[in-house]
Amino acid sequence: MENIRIKRRLEQFRKLMEENNIDFYYITTADYHNSEYADDFFKEREFMSGFTGSNGNLLIEKDRAGLWTDGRYFIQAENELEGTGITLFKMAEPSVPTTREYLKENMKEGQTLALDGRTVTLNFGKELDKLIEEKKGSLVYEIDLVDTIWEERPGRKSETVFALPEEICGKTVEEKLEEVRKKMEEKEASNLVLSKLDDIMWLFNIRGGDVECNPVALSYAVITKDNSYLFLQKQAVTEEIRQWLEKQSVELKEYDEINNFLKESNFSGKVLADGANLSFTLYKLLQQRNEIILSDNPTEGLKAAKNPVELEQMRQVYLKDSLVVCRFMKWLKENIGKEPVTELSAAEYMDNLRRQTEGFLDLSFPTICGYKENAAMMHYKATEESHKELSAEGMLLIDCGGQYLGGTTDVTRTYALGEVTKEMKEHFTAVVMGMLRLLNGKFLYGCSGRNLDILARGPLWEMGIDYKCGTGHGIGYVLNVHEGPQNIRWKYLEGMKEVPLEEGMVLSNEPGVYIAGSHGIRIENIMVTKKDILNTDGQFMSFECLTFAPIDLELISTSMMEKRDIKNLNEYHKQVYEKISPMMTDEERQWLKEVCREI
């Protein structure tokens, strides 16, 4: 079916391109800070294409358009792009060019590429700069054509900023700034420019609400040897937070002043900036007056390795959150087939359980609740217009999490609602085996997630099955549910970072199976990297589990499990019962004992 709405927008947009002598226009998913999730104000790619996934880039030409996205969204993108005339380019698939490769192949000498440089990273902007130079063309980066035709564009969000209680931070702002300045010295940098929102929130022990489910405020920061400047939207700053920042010796400035500050202020010396996150526009401003050192933000690694206070807070939060998941499972199993339940009402039931939990602030991402074939779409979103009613058959996948004063949670479980196929059980069992093998893995310090990914993926690869995403991502502390640089994956896409897993790093562990048109399975636990034995062979590392929620034994096929896999599952369920049952009623304890029974 033809998508008239998107086709008309593209037609209108192409007229603007022609008026401005533009041959190619590039639109990203990002905001001005390369955030993974962008607020509605920044969703230009979604507005122009109709594709709603959290990752994807759109390239518009005079007579065609293409959208690039990753394996999590292939099915969703195919559905949402239908009838738009936009071609889907499946990132990292064989013979599929990257955006840059496509431009190199299709851009003619002397042509013009335009984009909003505030939404493009320094690294990618430099690549495009080089390509345009080779093509003897023009790169226009100070233009936002989408804004011209987006008549009812949402306003830019500006929620009130608040400071975290000092007792749950583990380190003061002063201590963090001291650590950051030491890292700057090591890089021989006099200044640091930060635009990554969760890094800025972590450094100043503040939180906001300008990105859905991520407690961050739109902001920039500039750190010199002697001063700290924080750029926030004035509507977000109360007198209380203003005074609190003054006590931290932080000079507060208006968010939109960042460009003029970088142009006109008298700070001198080399500037440290992260090419993966600083915008191309800010890079161009800095380039005019300072020598730039391109390196990772020192805040990123410091933030990723949680301190003892943060870890203890997270342990307590994950127990409360795991209780929520247990209560959801009990409700689901007892009510399917007895009362009407849909993907939407099941998700809402889970969300309400979290909202009733002490310390709850918000969801950490919109709950994903997919039944049967809908679960095969990794980031499926049920809507009022399109959702399924659950019945006593097949499987339900629910991926969810919360933001609490004390931690950020993320958990996925897949449940049998009734009769399932032999294949489904085998797929589920392989996923559980892989998840528990990784959770129980031991490795030498210096290993990255690339070294460990096979532990989770192995049982599936043996069956000739793979999942087109990483196995694990970092988790923030009352921050973004997806955090770097730590991750677990065998294949690194352009721009991804690979780092050793350090003590205190919190990661997800979430292998899965996604069979289009049939079913989807994912089991996700969260774990903390910790030091294990130290001997003449080196420092060994292992993981501490934070998530304690039952794995559905109705979907386990013991015949395909090795003895170690059965032991892993039984020991995990023993821990679930020991940790969660004290918080339960007598009836709930009896139920938990049964679903955590030894097999």
Q: Which of 149, 176, 202 is the last residue of a domain?
A: 149
As a 3-state breakdown, the chain gives helix, strand, coil percent values, each rounded to 5, of 40, 25, 35
What's the pLDDT at 168? 97
Mean pLDDT score, 279-290: 88
Query: Residue 218: which CATH number?
Result: 3.40.350.10
- Same domain (yes/no): 250, 362: no
- Same domain (yes/no): 55, 98: yes
Of 39-48, 371-380, 426-435, the range with the lowest mean pLDDT is 371-380
- Same domain (yes/no): 555, 419: yes
Q: 427: closest CA among 379, 470, 390, 376?
A: 376
Query: pLDDT (tens digit, 9 = 90+) per residue, 175-224?
Result: 999 999 999 999 999 999 999 999 999 999 999 999 989 999 999 999 99
pTM (global) more than 0.85: yes
Q: Specify if 477 maps to a domain.
A: no
Residues 6 or more apart whose CB falls under 8 angstroms from that of 325 comprise 350, 411, 413, 549
Q: Which of 149, 173, 205 is the last residue of a domain?
A: 149
- Same domain (yes/no): 411, 554: yes
Q: Which domain holds residue 207?
A: 162-297
Q: Specify if 256 maps to a domain.
A: yes
Q: Specify if 392 maps to a domain.
A: yes
* Distances in whole angstroms, Cα of residue 536 to Cα of each of 293, 444, 530: 38, 12, 18
Query: pLDDT (tens digit, 9 = 90+) per residue, 547-589?
Result: 999 999 999 999 999 999 999 999 999 999 999 999 999 999 9
- Same domain (yes/no): 293, 239: yes
Domain count, the chain: 3
Query: pLDDT (tens digit, 9 = 90+) per residue, 89-134?
Result: 999 899 999 999 999 999 999 999 999 999 998 888 999 999 999 9
- Same domain (yes/no): 313, 351: yes
Q: How far apart are CA 159 and CA 154, in angstroms?
A: 14
- Same domain (yes/no): 291, 315: no
Cα distance between the two ends of the chain: 51
What's the pLDDT at 424? 98
Mean pLDDT score, 497-509: 96
Average model confidence (pLDDT) across the chain: 95
Q: Specify if 504 maps to a domain.
A: no
Backbone angles phi, psi at 139, to 5 degrees: -115, 115
Q: Specify if 499 maps to a domain.
A: no
- Same domain (yes/no): 396, 517: yes
- Same domain (yes/no): 144, 175: no
SS (H, E, C) 318-369: HHHHHHHHHHHHHHHHHHECCECCEHHHHHHHHHHHHHCCCCEEEECCCCEE
Q: Specify if 324 maps to a domain.
A: yes
More confident residue, 495 or 400: 400
Percentage of residues in the chain with pLDDT exceeding 90? Answer: 88
Q: Specify if 209 maps to a domain.
A: yes
Q: How far apart are CA 27 and CA 144, in angstroms?
A: 9
Q: Which of 263, 297, 331 is the last residue of a domain?
A: 297
Q: Specify if 65 maps to a domain.
A: yes
What is the secondary structure of 263-316 as a DSSP string?
HH----S-EEE-TTTSBHHHHHHHHTTS-EEE---HHHHHHHB--HHHHHHHHH
Backbone angles phi, psi at 545, to 5 degrees: -85, 140
Mean pLDDT score, 266-291: 87
SS (H, E, C) 518-532: CEEEECEEEEEEEEE
Q: Which residue has the tokens 């399924």?
A: 388
